[in-house]
Amino acid sequence: MDCGCKENEDGLTVKFCRVCAAALPQTIEDDRGRLQLNPDWLQARCGFATGSRAADITKLVQKKKEKGIVTEWKPSAERMKYMDHVLAERLTGKPQGIRKIYSLDERRDLEPEARAYYSFLHNQEIVEVGFIHHLFIDKFGCSPDGLCGDKGMIEIKNLDAGTHIRLLEGDQSVVAEYKPQILSGLSCTNREWLDFVSYCPQMLDEDLKLKVIRFIRNEDEISALECSVRQFLAEVDGRLRALKNRALSGAAFEDERLTKQLEESIELARKPDVVHAQKGKTIQLVK
């Protein structure tokens, strides 16, 4: 049975199923020794819903509220923007919108240091991997910061000092922001636990530089996350089919709501009691 792992034209493994991930410690490595954030890694995750954006996938905002209780939700602007991003990658076949934020880049460069620090303090041998595809949800995957043995994994965050201190003080809202990503990692790798690792080398006290919070696999939470991802990907597929059908049929790419508005304006313009008032370059129809 094909496990789902695939190689690119250069013979490098760029698609990993979660079963084989632990056996692939040194893949997709570029000339800087990076397993992630290199061209092969970017291409491997192109068009996928990724664990690092799971918070956007699951983010909804209230649409309707009755007696102080939200009765209806709608997709957030972040969710729709990310859907546009995934759709653009599907249609172009190329990674989209890779931005360089220097403060984040600097903190990301601390990941090897954080990984080594965690490995030493917790006596864990960590295996680095690239992009792991979900075993049964197509176009969904994640890029773990490291796998620990057969059961665990880590997610490293090099938080700023202020946020790291809040975490040290027990502020769980700091971790809540990353919960969808944590659940995505456990879902894609089928691991039993994940250590959320916050590393802040700016701390003068060595004992305060590292904060580790362990998350044990919760099937109910993971199932809820997977449902959200499936719904998100179904909407992406639906928009993709609609675009292709329009292209094949030669239909104009018009918004139906705008078309209806235009028809109403034309109907209004034909009435004898309508005054045409010009404002700038826009013609307004006034009753």
Q: Which of 55-69, 219-233, 269-283 has the lowest mean pLDDT?
A: 269-283
Residue 215's pLDDT is: 96
Single-letter residue type at 280: G
Strand order in the sheet with 49-50: 6-7, 13-17, 132-133, 140-142, 49-50
The model's confidence at residue 31, banded by pLDDT at 50, 70 and 90, is very low
Angstrom distance (rounded) from CA 68 to CA 73: 14
Residue 189's pLDDT is: 94
- Choose between 195 and 266: higher pLDDT: 195
- Choose between 113 and 19: higher pLDDT: 113
Per-residue pLDDT averaged across 147-158, rounded? 94
Residue with tokens 């020794």: 33
pLDDT tens digits, residue range 217-243? 999 999 999 999 999 999 999 999 998
Closest CA to 156 of 202, 101, 204, 213: 213
Residue 44's pLDDT is: 82
pLDDT tens digits, residue range 207-224? 999 999 999 999 999 999
Q: Are 129 and 24 contacting, i.e. CB atoms less than 8 angstroms apart?
A: yes
- HEC string for the chain: CCCCCEECCCCCEEEEECCCHHHCCCCCCCCCCCCCCCHHHHHHCCCCEEHHHHHHHHCEEEEEEECCEEEEEEECHHHHHHHHHHHHHHHHCCCCCCCCCHHHHHHHCCHHHHHHHHHHHHCCCEECCCCEECCCCCCEEECCCEEECCCEEEEEECCCHHHHHHHHCCCCHHHHCCHHHHHHHHHHHCCCEEEEEEECCCCCCHHHCEEEEEEECCHHHHHHHHHHHHHHHHHHHHHHHHHHHHHHHCCCCCCHHHHHHHHHHHHHHCCCCCEEEEECCEEEEEC
- pLDDT at residue 69 tops 80: no
Rg (Cα) of the chain, in Å, rounded? 24
Q: Name the pTM for this structure.
A: 0.66
Per-residue pLDDT averaged across 176-188, rounded? 94
- For residue 140, list its beta bridge partners: 49
What is the second-level CATH architecture of the domain 6-239?
A: Alpha-Beta Complex (3.90)
Residue 141's pLDDT is: 94
Pairing state of beta strands 152-157 and 193-199? parallel
- pLDDT at residue 265 tops 80: no
Q: Are 128 and 37 contacting, i.e. CB atoms less than 8 angstroms apart?
A: no
Average pLDDT, the chain: 77
Neighbours of 223 (CB within 10 A): 12
Domain-wise residue ranges, the chain:
6-239, 255-287
Angstrom distance (rounded) from CA 18 to CA 125: 18
* Separation in Å, CA 5 to CA 1, 49, 67, 154, 262: 11, 18, 52, 22, 51
Per-residue pLDDT averaged across 44-58, rounded? 84
- pLDDT at residue 97 tops 80: no
